[in-house]
Structure 1
């Protein structure tokens, strides 16, 4: 794929196999340049040059490897997703540590005091990335990043009319983005020890959390597999943002090729577009129609929950 579609070619000094092996070794182990020099017997300049060559080749595979969103069908029997008809997947943000010049640190400092970039990730119900936007400063609010994602001229996040993504309470509940109820139990850890919903909003939040958790598992597997995402690298922010996207593309490739060995440990983890002629959603504003849809869905969920409870 990197050869045919990414334009990666062997040179007189290095085969494609070695270029890719070196690239993957750096992503997976986040080792310093001199360590890679020792393992591969190459100069520091050669390693740096070929790392960037392979990285750019990976960027050319984005259209090939990013998952095409598919809405949940009316006849879905998936216990986590069957209530969310026409839902395309889940959306959330995560922070990745970066190194920036001293003058930029204030902008990149997040609420925890860490220097990070705020990464927006969107994934499908089968835990493959659909869209990733990296580069926003760590101080940027999640809602601001989402607004940028749907309004970009090139490579924007498309949400067709009548379809939507699940988002957490940090985002506005509006057309195209279905959020949980605030002020109610939400995180899966709050439902352990045999607790059950006592009203429609709690029932909605429980089922929303169960489905939305797929994006948290994606982020968890991503950072567990690629050590370069767990601590600041020595690459410039622009390069590090490309590295984030490359890791997401590799995540998808692994899942497309078969069973992911990391998945079992994340199955119950609770961590803190189809074609259409209709125009995509371009605003993030609450509306009465969307609020009514939210409330109706919650009531249907709770009525179903009570029917199953009474039948036991």
Structure 2
């Protein structure tokens, strides 16, 4: 078991720890366990967006899946970047207790969401070239209680990759 897996296992086992509602998942990098609630890319395949420059196209369902996975993670990273642009306290290391850091991050995110809701035009958006996407997770959903690699989860990822591949091939044949 890798270090990342131990961190996740510890995080979800705590009383007020990480909550992953069933039916949802975190996009993780290849160092994490591909198990229920934690979706990783395929190992040994192109992944990072810069590897797709110069109009390179995917050669397999695994490469296409990794391309889309990387793009989605990039959007998430851009959201964190957006928060860091707005709130200087998030840009530097802090020596606050973890409990306080979590409250600071939550407060910054809440203020950010309030600003977005109340302002007809946010000037900070002009500095970003992609739209900010929000998703709502049900508060009372059943949550994942343990992390382990499973045949069912790997099959689900393979089926998702195959569906993406089929749709991509069909869209290329239409043009």
Tell me, yes or no, whether TM beats 0.5: yes
2:8 maps to which of 120, 128, 146: 146
Shift, 1:264, TM fit: 4.6
The TM-score with structure 1 as length reference comes to: 0.47
Matched pairs, number = 166
Shift, 1:275, TM fit: 6.1
What 5-or-longer segments of structure 1 have no aligned partner?
1-140
The TM-score with structure 2 as length reference comes to: 0.78
Shift, 1:194, TM fit: 1.1
Shift, 1:294, TM fit: 0.6
1:125-140 aligned at under 5 Å gives the runs none
Cα distance per residue 1:152-195 (max 9 Å; x no partner): 213x3332333323222232111111111122111222222211
Residues 166, 212 of structure 1: 8 Å contact kept = yes
Choose between structure 1 and 2 for higher RCO, CA contacts under 8 A separated by at least 6 residues: 2
Shift, 1:243, TM fit: 2.9
CA distance in 1, matches of 2:139, 2:106: 24
Shift, 1:260, TM fit: 4.0
Q: Sort the Cα spacing of 1:187 and 1:268 in 2 relative to 1 into closer, same or farther, 3 A.
A: farther
CA distance in 2, matches of 1:240, 1:275: 22
1:1-312 aligned at under 5 Å gives the runs 141-154=3-16, 156-233=17-94, 236-238=96-98, 239-258=100-119, 259-268=121-130, 273-274=137-138, 279-312=142-175
1:65 paired residue number = none
Structure number with higher helix proportion: 2
CA distance in 2, matches of 1:264, 1:206: 26
Residues 217, 267 of structure 1: 8 Å contact kept = no
Shift, 1:291, TM fit: 0.5
Q: Secondary structure at the match of 2:115?
A: helix
Q: Secondary structure at the match of 1:262?
A: helix
Pairwise CA RMSD of aligned residues?
2.7
Flag the structure with larger Rg.
1
